[in-house]
């Protein structure tokens, strides 16, 4: 679990520090405000520790994290990630599983990150769920990244593809995982399966090609697959970029109920959003269950920290929603 993190000079982020993180954590802000950059940097750090000393991989931690940042951000030089005009290095420092993990590099860095703190490997599987679904692009992602070694689909997509290939397992699962799987199946009214290199959506006796399946179903089915094949387990970390993408409001609300169930099984979740529905639902979850849901609100390149248990934060997303409500009242009156 990530307990706290600090980011300096990453792209348009000069300084950000967040502590007292919880099982569900949220980042809100307008487009191009840095939400996805934060998620990807945290993911690259955690995933590097999980790939370190795994199986027959003999790469050093420096080599792994250099590769992970290169393929996650897909820049010609890693130094391009350093905030333009900054005389200081890019630094990311996090406390994860009771150990401190830190990297830093300057604007002249090409492909090798030299300053990496020594850490133990992390024996868990974490995953990044991008805003776009991946099932219909499954083979394209594998070919472009694994075979052609070309930029296009970054490592968040490639890691997800590899995780989804793992076959479902039989037997009892963790209690809240089983509940979550049932809710996911009820939500999409079927299940997505991978057979002979192709994804299909099974609904009753019907078998529907993945290309003819609704975008929302494909996105939700990804989480069902990761629970069924046990890729995710307690103390995994899920990074979700725009959970509201291609989901209608009712599905968003039900999806977040499932996320809460997983958090009770010690899965940690980081989400980036600009949806009022996501904010409102998570606030209700926080208040009803008396849990902390830390939230970073980005506004005019400033980072403000709130707790959804205390109510809705100050942010343009909230302001627009209130303005629409007041406009409706004016019309009615």
pLDDT confidence of residue 177 = 79
Dihedral over alpha carbons 27, 32, 36, 37 (to 10 degrees): -110
Q: Which domains does the chain have, with CATH numbers?
A: 2-332 (3.40.50.300)
Local structure of residue 82 (DSSP, 8 states):
B
pLDDT tens for each residue of the chain, 333 residues long: 999 999 999 998 999 999 889 999 999 887 777 899 999 999 999 999 999 999 999 999 999 999 999 999 999 999 999 999 998 999 999 999 999 999 999 999 999 999 999 999 999 999 999 988 899 899 999 999 889 999 999 999 999 999 999 988 876 666 777 888 788 888 888 888 888 888 998 888 888 888 888 888 888 889 989 998 999 999 999 999 999 888 888 888 889 999 999 999 999 999 998 888 888 899 999 999 999 999 998 877 788 889 999 988 877 666 666 565 455 455 654
What are the tokens at 306?
A: 């709130």
C-beta neighbour count of 6 within 10 angstroms? 15
Phi, psi at residue 158, to the nearest 5°? -65, -45
What SS3 state is found at 277? helix
Structural contact between residues 54 and 64, judged by C-beta atoms closer than 8 angstroms:
no
Whether 78 contacts 110, CB under 8 Å: yes
Whole-structure pTM value: 0.92
Angstrom distance (rounded) from CA 238 to CA 38 = 14
């Amino acid at each position: 679990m990530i307990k706290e993190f600090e980011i300096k000079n990453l792209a348009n982020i000069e300084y950000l520090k967040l502590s007292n993180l919880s099982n569900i954590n949220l980042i809100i802000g307008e487009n191009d405000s840095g939400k996805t950059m934060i998620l990807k940097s945290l993911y690259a750090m955690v995933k590097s520790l999980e790939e370190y000393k795994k199986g027959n991989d003999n790469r050093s931690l420096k080599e792994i994290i250099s590769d992970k940042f290169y393929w996650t951000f897909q820049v010609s030089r890693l130094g391009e990630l350093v905030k333009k005009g900054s005389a200081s290095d890019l630094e990311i420092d996090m406390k994860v599983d009771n150990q401190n993990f830190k990297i830093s590099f300057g604007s002249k860095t090409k492909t090798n990150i030299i300053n990496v703190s020594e850490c133990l490997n992390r024996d868990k599987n974490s995953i990044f769920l991008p805003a776009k679904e991946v099932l219909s692009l499954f083979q394209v992602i594998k070919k472009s990244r694994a075979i052609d070694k070309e930029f296009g689909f970054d490592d968040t997509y490639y890691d997800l593809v590899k995780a989804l290939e793992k076959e479902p397992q039989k037997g009892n699962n963790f209690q809240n995982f089983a509940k979550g799987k049932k809710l996911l199946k009820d939500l999409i009214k079927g299940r997505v399966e991978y057979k002979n290199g192709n994804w299909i959506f099974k609904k009753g006796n019907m078998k529907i090609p993945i290309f003819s399946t609704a975008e929302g179903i494909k996105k939700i089915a990804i989480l069902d697959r990761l629970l069924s094949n046990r890729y995710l387990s307690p103390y995994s970390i899920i990074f979700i970029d725009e959970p509201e993408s291609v989901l209608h409001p009712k599905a968003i609300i039900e999806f977040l109920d499932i996320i809460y169930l997983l958090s009770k099984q010690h899965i940690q979740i980081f989400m980036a959003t600009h949806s009022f529905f996501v904010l409102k639902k998570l606030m209700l979850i926080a208040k009803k269950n008396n849990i902390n849901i830390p939230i970073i609100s980005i506004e005019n390149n400033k980072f403000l920290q709130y707790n959804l248990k205390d109510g809705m934060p100050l942010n343009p997303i909230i302001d627009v929603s209130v303005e629409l409500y007041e406009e409706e009242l004016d019309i009615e009156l």
